[in-house]
Amino acid sequence: MGNSEEMRDAFFNEIVEVGNSDDRVVILSADHGAEALSKFEQGSPTRYFNIGIAEQNMVSVSAGLAAFGKYPVIYGISPFVSLRALEQITLDLAAMNLPVTIVSVGAGFTYSTDGATHHGLQDVGAMMTVPNLTILNSSDPQNTRLFASETLSSTGPRYVRIEKGPLRNLERRNPDWAEDGFSILGNGQSTTAILSTGAITHALLEAYQSVTSTLKTDSLIVDVHLLKPFPFKKLEPLLSDVEKIIFVDEGYASGAASQVLRLAQMLPKRPQVVEILVEEKFYFVGSSRQEMRSLVGLQPIQISEILRLHL
């Protein structure tokens, strides 16, 4: 799988490259930094703005810049750059269909020690309700860089979820994964398929390898990075013979899981959907991300126990 890479660097180093070659790229931050952003600020100080802890204002400012031909990239922590600014995203960006990239860091329990205010568990569910908005969810450095490289080709607003911390590149089996909207990580012929999205895919793969070391099974495994518009038409033929779908996500059922349920209803065999998700409640404890995953049943050993029951 190769060496690991810091996910924010994978995104923002690519953004800096894009911005260095096209002065239409403007970066706005809600008082949230990254090493590559500091370099961009030093090299292009007139195209970098720290708006402060004012996400609603940041969205509206980006709309004005986009209306005059710029390609703004705005950056903040997941719940603040989504839920706090939902009205501005809906009316200022989506209703006008402006090419603004909203970069959200803090998916799931990334900022676990800061408690419920910082957990990124319901942002996808909220963003799903916004017309014209594309939602992209990173799972490794490769697709994270892809999202950044597509900044100048976007024709409307995008909500891009990036990770904090190092991850390894996934081994993809479909060469057209960027266009497909998903990556095939295992192309087995079992009647049970396993789907996931985001960084939890790495925990899923570890769990699956543990199970297959003792249980003979060969399942289709798919990591979906395009959450909206969800790639229903491309997934349908792939899953046409599937009788059961196991879906893993470090988020609430109102997010990507809602799309997986829709997909299941479109398939000829109407497969059963087994969800391994975060229970919809508030988590006020301040433990590490790994401890929070353990609390909600998303550690590899816990995922493997569920896989054994259904494979």
Average pLDDT over residues 47-71: 96
Average pLDDT over residues 46-58: 95
> Which pLDDT value is given to residue 152?
95
Burial class (CB in 10 A: 0-12, 13-18, 19+), 246: buried
Q: How far apart (Å, rounded) are the C-alpha atoms in residues 139 and 162?
A: 8
> Which pLDDT value is given to residue 226?
98
Average pLDDT score, the chain: 95
> Which pLDDT value is given to residue 119?
96
Q: Which domains does the chain have, with CATH numbers?
A: 5-167 (3.40.50.970), 177-310 (3.40.50.920)
Cis preceding-peptide flag for 229 (omega within 30 of 0):
yes
Average pLDDT over residues 230-236: 98
Average pLDDT over residues 6-15: 93
pLDDT tens per residue, range 105-154: 999 999 999 999 999 999 999 999 999 999 999 999 999 999 999 999 99
Q: How many residues does the chain have?
A: 311
> Which pLDDT value is given to residue 91?
98
> Which pLDDT value is given to residue 127?
98
The widest CA-to-CA distance across the chain, in whole angstroms, is: 59
CA distances from 54 to 8, 28, 96 (A): 21, 11, 21
> Which pLDDT value is given to residue 2?
57
> Which pLDDT value is given to residue 280?
96
What global pTM score does this model have? 0.96
> Which pLDDT value is given to residue 205?
97
Burial class (CB in 10 A: 0-12, 13-18, 19+), 281: exposed
> Which pLDDT value is given to residue 39?
83
Whether 74 has a pLDDT exceeding 80, the answer reads yes
> Which pLDDT value is given to residue 285?
84
Average pLDDT over residues 2-23: 91
Are the beta carbons of 76 and 32 closer than 8 angstroms?
yes
Average pLDDT over residues 290-302: 97
Angle between helices 200-212 and 300-310 (to 10 degrees): 50
> Which pLDDT value is given to residue 214?
86
Please enumerate in sequence order all residues whose Cβ is within 8 A of that of 124, keeping only pairs 6 or more positions apart, or say none.
Answer: 135, 137, 161, 227, 251, 254, 255, 256
Are the beta carbons of 53 and 79 closer than 8 angstroms?
no
pLDDT tens per residue, range 255-290: 999 999 999 999 999 999 999 999 999 999 889 999
- In the numeric block, the tokens 């995008």 are attached to 158
Are the beta carbons of 182 and 193 closer than 8 angstroms?
no
pLDDT tens per residue, range 31-51: 877 777 888 888 888 999 999
pLDDT tier for residue 181 given thresholds of 50, 70 and 90: very high
pLDDT tier for residue 155 given thresholds of 50, 70 and 90: very high
